[in-house]
Structure formats: structure tokens, C-alpha cells
Structure 1
Amino acid sequence: MSTKMKQRIATYTLVHSAGIACIDLEKRRGKDTEKTTKKLTQKQKYFLIHKRRKRKMYEQLLDFLVFHFKPLCEDERMGRDLSGTIPSFLIILALSTCCFTTAPPDLQARVEQLEKYYVEIKEHLEAKIIDLETKVVRLEAKVEKQDSLLAVLKKGHKPLKENVDINQHRRQNATLRTCHEIHVANPSYPSGMYWIDPDGQGIGDPPIHVYCEMEAEQSDVKGTTSILHDSESQMDIGNCTEPGCYSRPIKYYASDRQIEALIQLSTYCHQNIMYHCRKTPLNFDGIAYAWWNDKDGERHEFSNRSTTCDQLAYTEGYDLQYVVDNVSLPITRIHFSNPFKGFGQHQVSRLRCRGKAKTEAMPRSCEDLWRMGHNLNGIYSVKGAKQMETVFCQFDKRPNEQDFQKRIGYQDIKTRPVYFSVQKLEEFSEVLTPIPFDRDLVNIGGAMDSHSGVFTAPFKGTYFFSFAGLAVFKGKGNVFAFLCSSGVELKRIPQFNVNYSGLIYLSPITIQSPLRLQAGDKVWINFIFRNAVLFGGEGTIFSGWLLEEEI
């Protein structure tokens, strides 16, 4: 309950108490006089009747106060206007009427005056109530009108509202890292100031406020990010004469870390230096009077071409230095001098970056993952030189910082499993011919054709092959076993040579070798026999499997 309401209730209570006190006083007077009514004279009886009428009038006045004044105390709007005047008047009226009635000289006049006061108060209160009710109706109409206008404004300024909502969202969350990403997310966004976070949400430096060009005619310019700084307007170089004596640092409204991240995320960044001059050369007589520093503080002189500035012309000219080297940007400091008491003003443009740096479809490093938008430190799989590798990426560092990427090792990842094992159940004696096989024990991946005896590599990688069997000699002779592969050229790898001199009849033959194959290369087994054959049976087996797949 407010303080004003408490004051109004206290006023009402005081008035009510004063009225009750007056009535009690008159009752006591009446009781004292009733005992001696029979002994009173005619004049005393007349006064007694008027006292009783007065007490009745007090009761009516109290009822009126209760009926009319109590709602005013309870009503917040009306009580505000009456609390300062009416309650005070009523208190004075009630107390004065009650206290000065002991021996009035003219009771009838007082009664008439009291009735007049009663009528005046009643009329005043009724007029005040009507006035307040009128004000309430007007205020309600005004509120309704403002609500309708607000609805029209919200409907008619939808792009502005969207822009405000976007900026509030970007400042707090800033999930997008460049203006290019914002434009791709919603091409209808207008040009303006936006919040972006190039080094990643929740890590590194806070988001930065940049200007996004969304409405350019050239499609490749839409989504250009511009970083503002403190040297965009024309500034006078003064009158110092020594080369580079005027020096001004460029303070960008973004941290170095965020600027570096933006450049790395963009396809193309550029910045230029506009120099307005009159008899203030950039280069003259082999002396460089002006230069600029890159992000690493390295000095870069202005191009040595003959310009209006270098010709010491009395007419005002200009020179434009255009910097498009992402490695050097941004410009961090500029130097000029005025050796011939001329005039010079410089103006450095905003750093503008557009496009998205190209990344491989499959990331090859933590830097590729960062460019794609990853920003949580952890272990990732990347495409190595030949196969998948496991790396630890620390994205709260920049790609050029130490420990940004730590290599853990290779991953044994295969597109699908490839292995087989086949048997030769019958004798075979053909020379330099792939051995066909009679039974497939297992052929996962379907790369082995047992009927032709040829294995076709489905993927580029390293495979391992093994053959085991028995050679049967029919006299003195020998056996040459070959593991053959055909890609660009036929390769025969002699793996086994057996000579029989009559001491043995059966001889085991084994072939084992890893081969690095390209996808589509073929592998088989063949022999050169002299007085010998390959003994068929369950022990004649050719097997192979994929060891490592190269990607």
C-alpha cells in the first residue's frame, strides 16, 4: 500500500472518530437532561429539543461522511486530488461543530450554517467525482489509441525491428563469424552495424561491432565486413621536415586476434591510404619521406612511381596506395613529412574483407576445422597425407600459435573391410597362367574372383597376400612361383623356387608378401613347372586382406 493511500485512510479514520465523539458527547448531555425534563421551563424544553435535533443532524452528517468520503479514500485516482483539501475541511467542520455547542447564542443560525456546509460539500464532491470520471474515460481512450498506433508501427517497421533483434542477438550470442556468413544465413538483412565473433563463439576475445555491406550491386561484394578505426577522416600531417617525422598509429575498434581471424576466414581483404598533397612528396631525389607499417611492424614504402605529390606541384594532388596483401594487413601506422613547407593530409580506409576462404571438402588440419566453424577444443580426425590421422585441436589459440594442433597418430579407417580365402582342390600344371580356384572359404568385399583366380584391389592402399600348397615332382625338376600384379605395368615377384633332385617327392610351396596397390590393380598367382604339378586339396589356399587404406 502506498504512503498516500495510508494517509487518506488515516484522515478518514480521524474524521469518523471525531463524528463518533460528537455523537457520544451529545448522548451524554441528553441523558443528563432527560432526568430533569419534567422540571424544565418552556424555554429550557425548547433548547433540549434543538439539542436532540442537532444530535440527529450529527448522525446524518457522519453517515454522509462515511457514504461519500470513504470511497474517495479507497479510490486511487480520486483520492489523489481530494486528499490535500477536503479531508482537512471536514475535520475542522466536525470538530468545530462538536466542541462549540455548550451555550450557543443562536442555535438556529448554526444549524442553518451547518446545513449550508453540508450542501456545499455534497455539491463539491459530486462535481469532483464527475470530473474524475471524465478524466478516466479520456485516459482510457488515449491508451487505446496509443496501443493501436504501436501495432501499426510494429507492422510498418518490420525491417528495422529485425535489424534491432539481429544486433541484440549477435551481441549476446554472436554465433556467426563474418558478415558473409550473416548474408548467407539471411540475404534479406540490410546493411548496417552487426556483432560478429571471428575467433569463435565463447572462446578468445569478445565479439566485435562491424559494418556489413549487404546491398551492393556486385554479388561478390555482398556480405563485406568493414572494421572501423580512428583515422578514417582527413588529417593534417603538420610541418615537420625530417623523413617520416609525422607518425600516427591506427587504432582499430577490434582486437588484433579478431582482425587476424577475420582475415584468415576471408577470401580477399584490402585497405588503402589516400594522401592529399601540395609540395609534400612521398619519395623525392632517392629519399623516402613517407611509409607505412604492416601488422608485424615491417616498413613498406609507397610505390616509387612519379605522382603529383612527388613532382612538388603547386596545385593540389593526391596519391592512392592500395594494399591487398592479406599477410601484411592491417595497416598499423603511417609516416609522413613536410620537407618543403607544403600541405598534406592523409586518410586511411577501413579494413574490408569479403568472401569465405576455401577449405577442402575433408579437413586436413585443425586450421581447416577452424575455418569450417569448429571452436571446441578436443580430438578430431583429419585427412593425412595417405590415411586418416588423429589430432588434438586447441581452438582457443590461433592457427599460427604454438600448440594449436598436436598430432596423435594414424587411424585404421577403411571404407569397408576387404579380405578373402579360396581353395584349389584339383591339380594344376599350366605355366604362367593365373591359378583358378574351386572353393570360396570367405570373400568379404567381393574383390576376389575365384574362377579366374584374380584379385582386383577396390581401394588404394597396402594389402597382404599369402599362398600355401604342395608341389608333386615326377622326376628331377623345379618349380618357380610368382605373385603377379598388373597396374600400369605387369610385375612378377618371384617368391619361391624348388629344385627336385630325386631325394623328395612332395615339396611345400609358400608365398607371403605385402603389396601397395592402386584402386583397380589386379593380383594373381602363377607358376613355372618342370616335371612337376601343383597338388590340389584343402591345403592349397590363397588368402589376402587390406592392411591400410590410403585416402
Structure 2
Amino acid sequence: MGRNFSGIIRSFLLILALSTYCLTAAPPDLQARVEELEKNYVKPGAYLILMEHLADKIVDLETKVGRLEAKIEKQDSLLAVLKKGHKPLKDNIDINQHRRQNATLRTCHEIHVANPSYPSGMYWIDPDGQGIGDPPIHVHCDMDGKEASRYGKTSILHDSESKMDIGNCTEPGCYSRPIKYYASDRQIQALIQLSHGCSQTILYYCRKSPLNHKGTAYAWWFDKDGKRQEFTNWLTACDKLSEDAEGGYVTDKLPFTRFHFSNPFKGSGQHEVSRLECLGKAKTEAMPRSCKDLWRIGHTLNGIYLVRGDKRVETVFCQFDKRPNEQDFQKRIGYQDIKTKPIYFYVQKDKHFSARDVPLPFERSVINIGGAMDLASGVFTAPVNGIYFFSFAGLAQFPEGPNPVQRELGANLYKNGERVAVSQVNKGHVVYPDNLSPVTLQSTMSLQAGDKVWIQFYIGKTGGFLHNIRHALHPGGHTHFNGLLLEEEV
């Protein structure tokens, strides 16, 4: 390096001398500048000063070049990894002939089932169904699992698979890394719903970079719904402030969408996030019970289907251009969503009742399909709009008195606080030993969802009550109230 500096200085002095010679006749101001240069650089020791100055500049340039070379090497390494994981599509042109005529299968598991001889590699799949929803996605299929259940593992790639440094920020969660997947959210969720199980792993290489320390969270992650989740229960070794590498995997709330880390003690930390991996096929009933089962089997055409219900075969309308977790994906014809399951009740009393102007409560529920009748309050709440029928029967009893008087007891049917039907019993002046009289009431009415219906009594000034005695010889009681949905309005 010294010889090079000597040559540079000699050349510089020669140029300076020639300039001085050529500029002797130059204007005064230019001549003054040349004289200043001669004064600064031809004086004793100027050679060493100039050489040190140039040496510092060269060292600085060499340092910058070294950094650039390191960055280029790192980029080349990342490019090699990406090329290894992303085989060109033309490599698999023949393999992708596994597709049915103009059809794309939905998972790597389906591809393996179609032809077990296909090798591992990159394939096109369409989890949400061909021709509907989002375009197909390019995924890696592992066809070489050690266990049969792992054949056809689907892996969705993303932009954060390599080891990444979190830097030197010290505030909790100050480092933020969003995860960009090479698939839409809709396609990812469809794949998860089609698979027997999915998982994702994170590795964290730490040195004095805790995830949680003395009650403070320095790192966390966000799930598919954008909700914050903690590392507390499954990554803890790094909290010891030692140099370590630990990992953990998650099987729900997938996929990872964002990570937050920090480096409070100025140590080091690198994270490495695996691909989203899904195995096998979701379990379905031998006979499908819902549109979701039909979708998992492979149905993709919107239409009316028969499925197995709780007690009978039911008819459903399936809208397969939606996902199972989306509204209107399934409608049951004749039941819920279009017409509800049957709604009817039959309740009884076990005790005498003499309260005025309050809903009549009941003690026994013989049947209450749909759960719309509240036994303790005696109030029926309509679950859906429709035409309802109600029937009440009871036994009024009046007390005997020294003088014969007019006695009254009325059973009233109320809707949202207004009386809509009434049945009344009147006893004349003649005194009977038992003073028992039946009281009955029936009504058909139109109700909106949320309307409330109940029985309420009017009792005359001379007194009276609803008679109920329950014993072994008469287990049925004397007071009965029932109702049912005749027809739902849709």
C-alpha cells in the first residue's frame, strides 16, 4: 500500500508543478490559489499528512465494500433457499395432470389419494372449490411422509421462513413482523376446515432477549382474528436470559399473522417461522349431516340436498360459493333459517293459586319443545314470527259464606301486557257444597319473534282461587296450559 501512496503523491506533485508553470501568467486570483496549494502541500511533512488522509478514505471505502459484499452474499443465500422451495411450475407440468378434466383438487392429500406415485413438490390446489371464491394457490406437497397419515401434507409458504434478526430496540414489542402468506385468507381457512389437523411452529434463538421478564411481556403474537396471544405458556427458556434456542407449535387460532419482539438487555434474538402445514382429511359422517359435511366430501354446486337429521332425513339448501363459517352457507328447508323446528309446550300446576293480576306460574313441564315456555314465570316468548294456538283449562273454586252472593273468577290471555282473550266463571246466589267450576280458554293469534304471552287471573271481591290437588289417584292435576306454532311466517 505504501508504494501505491508514493506513486499517487509523485503524480500529484508533478501535476501541481505543471499547473504552477502553466499558470504563471494566470490572473492574480487564480495565481493566489495555486500559491496556497503550494504552501499547504509542498511544505515539509505535507506528504505524510496527505498520505494519512488518503489512507483513511481508502479504509472507509473498503469497509463499505465489505458490508455490501456481505449483504449480496445474504441475498444470494435467501434467493437459493427460495429457488429450492419454489420449483418452477414447468417442472411439475406433467405432475399437475393429476387434475380431473379441467378440475383442480383441493388439498395435497386429495392429490396423493388420486395418484400415490406423485413425488413431493410444488402443486396448484383450490381449497375453496374450483370456479368459485378465490383463485387457486401454489403450495408445497410432501408426498413422502413416514406415516401413512402424513402422506400429502400441504404447506403454505410465506415471506418470513428464514431466520430473521429482531434488531436492538428495547421497548416491549417494539420489533414487529407481519407474516405475508402466498395464499388468501379465504383459501387458508378453507384448507384448515378440509384438513384433519394443521399446525405452525416458531423457533426463537435468544441471548439475553426474554419474552417475559418480571411480569412484563416483551413479546407476543397475533392470531388469524387479529387477537393478541402470549408466549407465556409455551416459550419460557429465553426468560432465563441465557443463550438458547427454543420452539413451540400452535394447532388452533392459525395462522400466525404478526410477531412482536424486543431486546431490552441489548442481547440478540432471531425468529424463524415455519410454513402453515395441514395433514389428512377432516372427519365426516358416513352419511352427511350438514352442508359442511357435503362440502368436505367434495360437493361444490349450490343446490338442495338431503342430509341426516336428529330423527329424520332433512332437506337443506347449500350455498357452496360461501364458506362454512359464513352467513347463509346452509339453510334448512322446513326447519331453522327457513322454517324452524317444531315449537310446542304443555305445562301443569301442582298448587292452589289465588294471586290477582300477575302471570300464572307452573310447576310441571310435561313437554317444552323449542324451550320457549318459561315454567317459573309462566311466560311464553315467541321464537319466530308465525301463527300460534294456545289452550288453557283450570278448575275455579269459591269459598262458602254465610250469605249467598255473586262469585266471579276470570282467566285472561295476555300478549305483551294487553288482554287479548278472556274466559269467566260466575256462581249465582245458591250455595253449593264444593263450589267448583271449570274455566277454559282457547285462542289463535299472530305473534312476532319476541312477543310474550301468559295467563293472568281476575278474582272477584268475594274471593276464589284456582283449585289444584295432586295425589296418586289423580296424577294429571287440574290446571293445564299448552301452545304450539301452527305456521311460521317467512
Give me the TM-score of the superposition, normalised by structure 2: 0.48
Computing the radius of gyration from Cα coordinates, the structure with the larger value is 1
Relative to total residues, which structure has the larger helix share, 1 or 2? 1
Give me the TM-score of the superposition, normalised by structure 1: 0.43
